[in-house]
Amino acid sequence: VFAPFGDRVNDRAFMTDWFARRNQEVIDSLPPERLLVYNPKEGWEPLCAFLGVAVPAEPLPRVNSRDELLDASDQTEGIPADPEAAEAFGRNYIKELKAKAFAAG
């Protein structure tokens, strides 16, 4: 999970730049009709319109907030500094987010 970042996972400027470049690579690699650039703050409507499905009655799930990350890590910085601990934390955190976001309800 953290391999592309090396020892710079806690370097905010590096990570911000890395994600911006990665997002642009994805945008540039796909035809516009096959890509929805979407912010979850927009709600269900743009996502459902893109997929051609009805908007669900349930609210859009909200997971992976900064507070959830800090709570899950029991740290003030979020992600453990040790690479192996960070990898284990990341895998477990993603598993928990999947369960929360897609739990039957």
- Please indicate, yes or no, whether residues 67 and 100 belong to a single structural domain of this protein: yes
- Please indicate, yes or no, whether residues 77 and 101 belong to a single structural domain of this protein: yes
- Please indicate, yes or no, whether residues 43 and 82 belong to a single structural domain of this protein: no
Closest CA to 52 of 67, 28, 33, 27: 33
- Please indicate, yes or no, whether residues 54 and 67 belong to a single structural domain of this protein: no
Number of domains in the chain: 2
Q: What is the mean pLDDT of residues 45-50?
A: 95
- Please indicate, yes or no, whether residues 81 and 95 belong to a single structural domain of this protein: yes
Give the distance from CA 3 to its chain's centroid. Answer: 16
Predicted TM-score (pTM) above 0.75: no
- Please indicate, yes or no, whether residues 6 and 17 belong to a single structural domain of this protein: yes
- Asked whether the predicted pLDDT for residue 104 surpasses 70, the reply is no
- Please indicate, yes or no, whether residues 38 and 68 belong to a single structural domain of this protein: no
* pLDDT value of residue 40: 87
Specify the 3-state DSSP secondary structure of 78: coil
* pLDDT value of residue 77: 61
* pLDDT value of residue 92: 85
46 vs 89, higher pLDDT: 46
Single-letter amino acid, residue 56:
P
What is the rounded distance in angstroms from the CA atom of residue 95 to the CA atom of residue 80? 17
- Please indicate, yes or no, whether residues 3 and 50 belong to a single structural domain of this protein: yes
Domain that holds residue 13: 1-58
- Asked whether the predicted pLDDT for residue 47 surpasses 90, the reply is yes
